[in-house]
């Protein structure tokens, strides 16, 4: 009986607790960071839509900013305003870019700073 107990292997209760705590910490971190990346993806999609819209190719800078502002409001984008966007027009078409940062509080006085540089051109 004693020899059989020595051959048994497995995860102890302490090991299970450590793994569960690590999964909780990683999950909490992901829940704070993922929304910022999702907003950045939405901003990229808005830029892509505006750049490939034939009506926007000849539009004024104010019309382009207004179009972005309306689309951002519909998608609940609040990290970037229309005035933050750099708009370029050349023979190749329209180009939009924006640089911004998001500060995410983690624990006590520790924060995470994410910097995004999003651009799109035709």
Tens of pLDDT, residue by residue, the chain (122 residues): 555 656 667 778 888 999 999 999 999 999 999 999 999 999 999 999 999 998 988 889 999 999 999 999 999 999 999 999 999 988 778 899 999 999 999 888 999 999 999 988 76
CB count in 10 Å sphere of residue 50: 23
- Helical spans, DSSP H, in the chain: 2-7, 13-51, 54-57, 61-74
DSSP lists the bridge partners of residue 94 as: 89
Which pLDDT score, from 0 to 100, does residue 58 have?
Answer: 84
Count CB atoms within 10 A of the CB of residue 90.
Answer: 9
How many CB atoms neighbour CB 65 within 10 A?
19
pLDDT, residue 9, reads: 75
Range of the domain at 32: 2-121
Collect all residues with Cβ–Cβ distance below 8 Å to 66 and sequence separation of at least 6: 82
pLDDT of residue 43: 95
Domain total of the chain = 1
């Amino acid at each position: 009986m004693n020899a059989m107990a020595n051959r048994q292997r497995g995860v102890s209760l302490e090991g299970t607790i450590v793994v569960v705590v690590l999964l909780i910490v990683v999950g909490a971190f992901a829940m704070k960071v993922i929304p910022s990346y999702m907003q950045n993806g939405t901003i990229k999609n808005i830029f892509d839509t505006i750049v490939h819209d034939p009506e926007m190719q000849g539009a004024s800078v104010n019309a382009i900013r207004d179009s972005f502002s309306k689309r951002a409001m519909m998608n609940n984008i609040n990290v970037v305003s229309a005035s933050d966007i750099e708009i370029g027009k050349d023979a190749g078409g329209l180009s939009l870019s924006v640089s911004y940062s998001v500060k995410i509080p983690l624990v006590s006085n520790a924060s995470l700073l994410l910097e995004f540089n999003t651009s799109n051109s035709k």
